[in-house]
Structures are given as C-alpha cells and as structure tokens.
C-alpha cells in the first residue's frame, strides 16, 4: 500500500468521533424544566408484562411541587397494569408546534412509578395540583378505578432542536428541600388569593415575563423555582429571579415582580 494512502487510512481510523451530547448548562436545565412544568399531556411508555414489548399511550400530566411528573390513569388501562407489574417507564413531553415536529424541543424522562394511596397527604396534594392544571379531569378523580401515580425521575434526555442534545440527571430537574412541604401547605390559598384579587398582577406576569398573548391568564401553581400560568389550553412557565428559600419569600417575590413588570411595560408604552 502506498505510504500516503496508508497514512490517510490510519488518520481516519484514529480520529475521535464528535460527541453529539452538549454540556448541560443553566439554559438547557431551564428549558427542560419548562417543558416538564408546562406539559399537560405526554407519551407514557411501559413494559407489557405479557410480551415484554414496549407499550406507549398518551396520558394527562401535571407536576408535584418538586417537579415530579404526576399522572391520573384508570386501573382498567393496559398501561396501568404494566406499571403495577414493572414500575420502570419513560415519559415524553414537548409540544410539536407548527412546521417540522422534529424541530421543536422535547424531552424523554426515565422514571420509576409509584402509585399514591387514596386519602394520603401526598395523594391529596397530587390531586389538587393535577386539577389546577387539568380541571376537566375532575370527572375522573372521583371514580374508584382511577389512581394517581408519581413518576420518580431518574434521568432525562433533552432534545432542544437540531444539534442540541443534552443528558440530565435527577438533580437537574427535581427541586429538593424543606421549602417544598412548607410551600405546599400555603400554595392553594396563595393561588386563590392571586386569582381572585390580583388578576391585574397575573396579567403582568403573563404579558411581561412570559411574553404571552391574549387574556384570561390565571395562576395554576407555585413552587420554589417559579410559577405556572394557564389560559384555556395554553400554559406558560415563569421562573423567579432567585429560588424561594421560605414560603414567606413568595409574597415578596410576587410583589417585586409585579412592580418591576408594570414599570417596564409603562416605559415601553412611553417609548412607543
């Protein structure tokens, strides 16, 4: 073999492959959390106990206060029996949007499911948060054959669009800390108060911080990282300037964000 040809062949073999996985950074983590917190449905994949083959189905989705996905499913559904036989599952979230569906961000979560016992504090909190996000599901909650499951996140694969692949772990997506339980106790009263007395501030959050269009926005959830807004079938995620350390930080943060948002919107109106 010609020495020059041999050199080319060796160089091609020894050249390392380009790593298609990007380094996980704050921006990718925020995108991943946004996809998870704004999801109202997703594709659930389980293992069929009869055949051992994958089985996928669409399910409604919400999140617990720490970010863990919540699903409400019928005991009569094949995927429910599969979860009870083998808790391993995955959940795909992310709206396709217009045009090429593969050009839009999506994320696959690798999880282990846990059925929530009816009447326990965890089940009651899951029901409350799920119905805040999916109010039409109230028709099913009271039926005896429906149960809530937590999908405990182990890791995730995020595709932020062409050439934007990331691998995330549990700590990237799930917020742990004592503030979760304390905030959950006062969350509903804070939501009810804001949605009944301060819809003007909610509109500021939606239009200024989320750049959302239209009206009818209400708050659907608070957590240490931020807040979720809904208007009909639309959802938006807004992150706080810094995470809450105590439940008392919530009111101060909401007041400051409303004040700053109004000032910025007034300034933009004056400029135009």
How high is the pLDDT of residue 102? 85
Whether 55 contacts 44, CB under 8 Å: no
Domain boundaries, the chain: 21-174, 175-265
How high is the pLDDT of residue 92? 98
What is the C-alpha separation between 97 and 132, in angstroms, rounded? 24
Conformational region of residue 132, where left means phi above 0, alpha means psi within -120 to 50, and beta covers everything else = alpha
User: Facing residues of 61 across strands?
Assistant: none
- What pTM was estimated for this model as a whole? 0.90
How high is the pLDDT of residue 7? 45
For the structural domain made of 175-265, what CATH number should be given?
3.20.180.10
How high is the pLDDT of residue 272? 64
Per run of 10 residues, the mean pLDDT along the chain (length 272 residues) is 48 54 95 97 97 96 98 96 97 90 93 96 96 93 90 97 90 94 97 98 98 96 98 96 96 98 87 70
Give 21-174's CATH code, choosing from 3.40.640.10, 2.30.110.10, 3.40.50.150, 1.20.1050.10: 2.30.110.10
């Amino acid at each position: 073999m010609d020495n020059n040809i041999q050199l080319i062949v060796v160089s091609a073999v020894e050249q390392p492959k380009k790593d298609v996985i990007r380094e996980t950074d704050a921006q990718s983590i925020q995108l991943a959390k946004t996809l998870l917190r704004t999801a109202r449905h997703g594709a659930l994949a389980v293992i069929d106990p009869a055949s051992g083959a994958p089985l996928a189905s669409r399910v409604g989705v919400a999140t617990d206060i720490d970010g863990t996905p919540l699903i409400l499913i019928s005991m009569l559904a094949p995927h429910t029996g599969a979860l009870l036989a083998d808790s391993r599952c995955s959940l795909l979230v992310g709206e396709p949007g217009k045009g090429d569906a593969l050009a839009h961000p999506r994320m696959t979560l690798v999880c282990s499911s846990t059925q929530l016992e009816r009447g326990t504090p965890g089940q009651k909190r899951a029901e409350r948060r799920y119905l805040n996000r999916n109010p039409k599901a109230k028709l099913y909650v009271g039926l005896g054959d429906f149960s809530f499951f937590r999908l405990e996140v182990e890791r995730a694969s995020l595709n932020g669009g062409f050439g934007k692949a990331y691998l995330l772990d549990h700590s990237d997506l799930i917020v742990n800390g004592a503030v979760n339980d304390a905030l959950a106790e006062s969350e509903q009263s804070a939501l009810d108060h804001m949605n009944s007395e301060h819809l003007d501030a909610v509109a500021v959050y939606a239009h200024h911080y989320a750049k959302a269009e239209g009206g009818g926005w209400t708050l659907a959830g608070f957590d240490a990282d931020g807040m979720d807004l809904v208007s009909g079938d639309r959802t938006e995620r807004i992150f706080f300037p810094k995470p809450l350390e105590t439940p008392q930080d919530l009111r101060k943060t909401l007041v400051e964000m409303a004040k700053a948002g109004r000032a910025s919107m007034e300034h933009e109106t004056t400029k135009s």
